Structure 1
Amino acid sequence: MRPTGPLGPYRRSPVVLTTAVTVLLAVGIAGCGPAGTSSSPQSSASASASTAAGVVGIRDPWVKAADKGMTAAFGTLVNDGDTDVTLTAVATSVSAMELHEMTMKDGKMVMRQKQGGIVIKAKSTHPLEPGGDHLMLMDLSQPVKAGEELTFTLTFADGRTQQFTAVAKPFTGAQESYAPGHGEPMPGMSATPTTSTSPAS
């Protein structure tokens, strides 16, 4: 027989409901497990890495320190989107800039402007590195000293723009020749690149 007192049926019911809710919450939290908890930080990190307009992420950006003439910026472009992205231009306050690539000419590795821009494939990365594709500062208006930060603005084929900063570091490798459309090296540039691809830390 069920209790007939005024408090009998009503005191047990909240306890049962509270216990049931607690069990359901525990099951729900367990169901999220490592996969659920790890996806949130990854999404957050991806969003923060893809600054401003969120076109691409930029990992480990740096620029080669230089007193005058030309230098270059490097890093890794990250496209977490579902469609390819094409970088068509780059700008900074200390120099005119071009998108460059390395190519062989007459048995020598030379630099030239990259026609059509730099394509970052969907769900992929594209390295900007000495000896490969890079962002070229053409004629410095002031020295770029080690430890300084430069701000760069990227422009993409769809008109979107994005800024990032890169720290200048000393670097002695990859003194490639420069080929402004005809494969002719500019004065002061070594004709033979070295094999080093990392800046001094």
Structure 2
Amino acid sequence: MSITLPRTPRARRLGLLAAVAALAIVPTACSSDSASTVTGKAAEEISYNDQWIKAADSGMSAAFGILTNAGDAPVNLVAASSPVSARVEIHEVVAAAGGDKTMRPKEGGIVIPAHGTITLKPGADHLMFMDLKQPLRTGAETPITLIFSDGSTTTVSAQVRDFAGGNENYSGGEHPAPAAQNPAHGG
């Protein structure tokens, strides 16, 4: 595509702005090969909104928010990571014997249905930050990388907020204090 700009400075500026605007709305032509390598990637179908992380000085924390799948097929979130934590696990909260809530790693991750949403929230599914490398201070922004079953990833920024926690018990193999009451985790 060639663009010829008018001779006067004002007309050139207006012509340049019009050309840039036109390029912004013209669809990009792709070969079928390049389109197929991009199409279907889970990370491109998922948005993570209203994401936030519980403030914590050390130990554990948790991330919450809304995962939305704009695609025509279910998407499986299988892992997550963040530079502020030694590891991030996908957790669920289930009723235990006696009515207590127990938090544990969620087998198989989280499936976000086609054209659906999953809400990560305290007392339910969430991303558990284990062995924090630094304090998470209210108002700070923290990156979280979501990893999907097809190997695609997306990184979002989540705001750190104050939250008292869900007061669940933890049921996990490698936690420093398994099955101990831990209101500080926020899960």
TM over 0.5: yes
> Quick check: 1:167 aligned with 2:159?
yes
In the TM superposition, 1:12-161 aligns within 5 A as: 53-95=43-85, 96-107=87-98, 108-161=100-153
Question: Which structure dedicates a bigger proportion of its chain to helix?
Answer: 1
Following superposition, the deviation at residue 94 of structure 1 comes to 1.2
* Larger Rg over CA atoms: 1
Separation (CA, whole Å) in 2 of partners of 1:122 and 1:74: 20
Following superposition, the deviation at residue 173 of structure 1 comes to 3.4
Following superposition, the deviation at residue 175 of structure 1 comes to 2.3
Residue type of the partner of 2:133? S
Residue type of the partner of 2:92? E
Separation (CA, whole Å) in 2 of partners of 1:99 and 1:120: 13
Gapped regions of structure 1 (runs ≥ 5): 1-52
Do the aligned partners of 1:63 and 1:72 also contact (CA within 8 Å) in 2?
A: yes
TM-score, structure 2 as length reference: 0.70
Do the aligned partners of 1:55 and 1:162 also contact (CA within 8 Å) in 2?
A: no
1:38 is matched with none
1:189 is matched with 182
Render the CA deviation track for 1:35-59: whole Å, top value 9, x for unaligned: xxxxxxxxxxxxxxxxxx5230111
1:34 is matched with none
TM-score, structure 1 as length reference: 0.65
Render the CA deviation track for 1:124-177: whole Å, top value 9, x for unaligned: 000000010000001111100000110011110011111101000000131221
Percent pairwise identity: 45
Gapped regions of structure 2 (runs ≥ 5): 1-42
Bigger relative CO (Cα 8 Å, ≥ 6 apart): 2
Do the aligned partners of 1:113 and 1:181 also contact (CA within 8 Å) in 2?
A: no
Residue type of the partner of 2:73? T
CA RMSD of aligned residues (A): 2.3
1:32 is matched with none
Following superposition, the deviation at residue 101 of structure 1 comes to 0.2
Residue type of the partner of 1:137? F
